[in-house]
Structure 1
Amino acid sequence: MCIVPFVLSADDGAMTPAVRTDALRKDYGRRTAVRGLNLAVEPGTVHGLIGPNGAGKTTTLRMLLDIIRPTSGEIRVLGSSPRRGGPGLRRRIGYLPGELRLEGRVTGRNLLRHYAEISGVVAPGAAEEFAGRLDLDLTRPVRALSKGNKQKLGLVQAFMHRPELLVLDEPTSGLDPLVQREFLQLVREARDAGQTVLLSSHVLSEIQQAADRVAVLSAGSVVAEGSVADLRLTAVRHVRGAVDSATARELKAELDALPQVRELEVADSGRFSAVLDGSPDPLLKVLAEHRVLDLVVEEPDLEESVLALYGPEADHA
């Protein structure tokens, strides 16, 4: 099934963004949650929305769906204003909220039947197909489901009518790694079918694997935008390991001389830790001259990566 998730400009027939915001702002009293946000999501792509807690991601997604109203600015979703689009527009969208609350005595299957009556047309067997891929038992009462299984149920209701636009807020929260992998496959298949996916996440590896383009939010504004590679979000790494204790002091002096290495700690035992900016090549060349007993290189959490790379303008605290 091929979805056509775009509209054409009446002026020149050009394809318009699936989602567009211009100077979008949301104030809560004296606090500004979103300020002057400009965002364009191209149709048929996966667009990641990332940033530290409180950056304005969830507020932005809720305004796109007319769950809350902006203080000022313009929004267009699938060519329409969310405020005026009504049920017709909402049926073209699949939405998973960041704080999913599902309760009730009904089974998962019956709850999905209810959602199918108010969403777009659901093909026979589609809900069962998605549930099977996510390893979700639809015969169990919703109230008896774990947090992870409720999250799976939320994903099924978002995907099952194969909407033109998927808006997913922290979609893998509570999912085990195998289900997360299957979810990412569903996202790729949706994109290949022509659907547009707007994905908010704290998980950098998730964005790396799924997104075509990424917008980094901080303090309610886009501070950077581009591909994951362009944004260098993986350029900051934690490194820890151990070398022979006899060469510990020599290692410290050599690593201190590398501009890419900061927050270096080297114990007399030979164990060391540091934060690495940029390419690991200089570090590896130094370590190659030592007897390495242990080495672990890992990416920091998303908030640390964003703050380290985009500096004070990303520090919303």
Structure 2
Amino acid sequence: MMNLITVNDLSKAFGDVQALDRIHLEVNRGEILGFIGPNGAGKSTAIRVLLGILKADSGQATIFGKDVWSDAVEIHKRVAYVPGDVNLWPNMTGGEVIDLFIELRGGQKNGRRDELIERFKLDPSKKCRTYSKGNRQKVALVAAFSVEADLYILDEPTSGLDPLMEKVFHDCIMEAKEKGSSVLLSSHILSEVERLCDTIAIIRDGSIIESGTLEDMRHLTRTQFYIETKDPLFGLETLEGVHNPDKQKAGYVFQADTEKIDAVMRHITPFGIVKLESMPPKLEDVFMRHYEGSGGEG
């Protein structure tokens, strides 16, 4: 697969603050990368470097094989960007802003624009100064998806949207992927990343601390079990790999490290398993395991 984004050893400091510390990232054609981390972890700084807004101190970053700083103008012709806090011209209407963005990207007013305005339930006749934060986000999202792009860079794009509009956004992302576009999605909404993304990169204190598919990261998580046995179950509290065992009226609820599940099941089986329920590990578990004791926000 062709890499649309390639980042190697990228660093950026603001005075004594190391915002990015030799990070590596890759986004392939037709792939959605979830870029997650708490506020202040370095997500937005990395995106601003990719957009050519900030110049990196060292390292290399390319999009479509072009340098993100020196070739920014050429890159932007094929990229759509939505920030997490959209500022618009207060005296223009939402529709006028959308049309301006479409024209700036070389497109023309089209049926896709009108379809997206309807799907996002946006009134394009209102002045932007009257819009709520959610409606300002809708303007940016409609403009971004009205003209096809090879790459969408989205920095907390659903900030301010209600759950129904988040669903519309998710549909737009998947439609873009089906057309072969790639997406870099920065978010702290873990359920959103888990639902949409093919690969994940976790950033903490300016460093990428884990990346890969969610399946690749399952080793970092614990699976939750509920179990009932024919005979009274004992010894679970001291079993290696078992966490937070809680005796219920009819059985036990506990968590088990993925690599210890086989040993845990061998311990339980002789007691006669009557009922067994398991909940697969989620991205939130991966995230929280990384941030336990780190002092990170979020």
Q: TM-score range by the shorter chain?
A: 0.7 to 0.9
Mark the CA change 1:180 to 1:100 in structure 2 (over 3 Å): closer, same or farther.
same
Q: Partners of 1:274 and 1:221 in 2: how far apart?
A: 32
- 2:243 is the alignment partner of 1:256: no
Q: Partners of 2:223 and 2:147 in 1: how far apart?
A: 40
- The 8 Å contact of residues 84 and 158 in structure 2, kept in 1 or not, is answered as no
Residues matched between the structures, number: 289
Q: Which residue of 2 aligns with 1:127?
A: 113
Aligned amino acid, residue 191 of structure 1? K
Q: Partners of 1:105 and 1:237 in 2: how far apart?
A: 53
Q: Which residue of 1 aligns with 2:59?
A: 73
Identity %: 31
Q: Which residue of 2 aligns with 1:40?
A: 26
Q: Partners of 1:143 and 1:174 in 2: how far apart?
A: 16
Residue by residue over 1:114-157, the C-alpha shift from the partner in whole angstroms, topping out at 9 and shown as x without a partner, is 21221232451222222222222222222222222221112112
- 2:183 is the alignment partner of 1:197: yes
**Secondary structure of 1:18's match?**
strand
Q: What aligned pairs does 1:26-65 form with structure 2 within 5 A after superposition?
A: 26-65=12-51
Unaligned ranges ≥5, structure 1: 1-14, 244-249
**Secondary structure of 2:90's match?**
coil
Residue 152 (structure 2) aligned to one of 166, 172, 187: 166
Mark the CA change 1:181 to 1:237 in structure 2 (over 3 Å): closer, same or farther.
farther
Over aligned residues, Cα RMSD in angstroms? Answer: 3.6
- The 8 Å contact of residues 149 and 181 in structure 2, kept in 1 or not, is answered as yes
Mark the CA change 1:107 to 1:36 in structure 2 (over 3 Å): closer, same or farther.
same
Mark the CA change 1:203 to 1:261 in structure 2 (over 3 Å): closer, same or farther.
farther
CA displacement at 1:204 relative to structure 2: 1.6
- 2:77 is the alignment partner of 1:96: no
CA displacement at 1:90 relative to structure 2: 1.1
Q: Which residue of 1 aligns with 2:194?
A: 208
Q: Partners of 1:238 and 1:146 in 2: how far apart?
A: 40
**Secondary structure of 1:198's match?**
strand
Q: Which residue of 1 aligns with 2:137?
A: 151
Unaligned ranges ≥5, structure 2: none
Mark the CA change 1:193 to 1:122 in structure 2 (over 3 Å): closer, same or farther.
farther
Aligned amino acid, residue 183 of structure 2? V
Q: Partners of 2:16 and 2:255 in 1: how far apart?
A: 37
Moved more, 98-107 or 67-76: 98-107
Residue by residue over 1:195-239, the C-alpha shift from the partner in whole angstroms, topping out at 9 and shown as x without a partner, is 111111112221121111111212212222111122128934789
Q: Partners of 1:301 and 1:195 in 2: how far apart?
A: 24
Mark the CA change 1:57 to 1:237 in structure 2 (over 3 Å): closer, same or farther.
farther
Q: Which residue of 1 aligns with 2:205?
A: 219
Q: Which residue of 2 aligns with 1:229?
A: 215
**Secondary structure of 1:83's match?**
coil
Residue 6 (structure 2) aligned to one of 20, 25, 37: 20
Residue by residue over 1:57-80, the C-alpha shift from the partner in whole angstroms, topping out at 9 and shown as x without a partner, is 111111000111111111111221
Mark the CA change 1:156 to 1:256 in structure 2 (over 3 Å): closer, same or farther.
same
- The 8 Å contact of residues 218 and 316 in structure 1, kept in 2 or not, is answered as no
Q: Partners of 2:172 and 2:60 in 1: how far apart?
A: 31
Q: Partners of 1:195 and 1:60 in 2: how far apart?
A: 20
- The 8 Å contact of residues 219 and 316 in structure 1, kept in 2 or not, is answered as no
Mark the CA change 1:299 to 1:92 in structure 2 (over 3 Å): closer, same or farther.
same
Q: Which residue of 1 aligns with 2:164?
A: 178
Residue by residue over 1:88-135, the C-alpha shift from the partner in whole angstroms, topping out at 9 and shown as x without a partner, is 321211001123223513221011112122123245122222222222
